[in-house]
Amino acid sequence: MNVFIIGVFSAIGVRHAWAHFHPQQKPAKPAVQPTHLPPEVKEQMLAKAEADFRAVLEKSTHELQQDLEGTTEGLNKELAKLGDEVVRSETERYHTMLEALRTQAETVITTAQTDIKDHQTDLKTKLDENITAEKQRLIAQLDTKLADAVTSFLTESLQHNVDLGAQIPYMLANLEEHKAELIKGISDEE
């Protein structure tokens, strides 16, 4: 293998040395003599070159315009797809947010309704307690007034030395006589 590599390098070296010491002679090119063309021929050539240039330019312009139209159409389609995708994703996000807000509102409303019911129950209980307490106070006040009235009546009756057991009709008549005063006294203290 080493012999092969050495052989290749030796062959390359010999060829390089041969080319360096024995260069090849290239034939010289003859000098170009300028040709003089008549002005009519020059004008024809210029007109033809100008017509050819215009034709190539128009063809290139037409091809470029077609390419631009195709590119514009492709871009419009891609922009429409992108716009549709953005609108769809934003609509989905909007619906998701609305659903979350609706759920949150339902939770708040349910909590508020529960709190209102609890508060109504508490108020009703307190009102019932207050009504019961007021009834008890009025009953106690009425008992006190009646006791005072009976005591007053008895004191007045005993001053006349009336026999209480035998004089029930007299006591009822006397109570009936002072009935308006008793009612007025109870009403004033309330």
Q: Which two tokens stand for residue 47?
A: 């007109």
What amino acid occupies position 20? H
Q: In this structure, what DSSP letter does residue 155 have?
A: H
Residue 30 domain flag = no
Residue 186's nearest CA partner among 154, 138, 152 is: 138
- Count Cβ atoms within 10 A of the Cβ of residue 79 and give its class: 0-12 exposed, 13-18 middle, 19 or more buried: exposed
What is d(CA 177, CA 152) in angstroms, rounded to the nearest whole number?
A: 13
Residue 31 domain flag = no
Residue 139 domain flag = yes
Residue 37 domain flag = no
Residue 173 domain flag = yes
* DSSP secondary structure letters along 82-93: HHHHHHHHHHHH
Residue 12 domain flag = no
Furthest CA-CA distance within the chain: 179
- Number of domain units in the chain: 1
Residue 160 domain flag = yes
What is d(CA 76, CA 73) in angstroms, rounded to the nearest whole number?
A: 5
What is d(CA 153, CA 176) in angstroms, rounded to the nearest whole number?
A: 11
Which residue range(s) make up the domain with 138?
42-189
pLDDT by residue, tens only, the chain of 190 residues: 677 778 877 888 888 777 777 766 666 665 555 567 788 888 898 899 999 989 988 998 899 899 889 999 999 999 999 999 999 999 999 999 999 999 999 999 999 999 999 999 999 999 999 999 988 888 888 878 877 777 776 677 666 555 556 666 777 777 777 777 777 766 666 5
Q: Which two tokens stand for residue 10?
A: 């030796």
Residue 69 domain flag = yes
- Count Cβ atoms within 10 A of the Cβ of residue 36 and give its class: 0-12 exposed, 13-18 middle, 19 or more buried: exposed
State residue 18's pLDDT score: 74
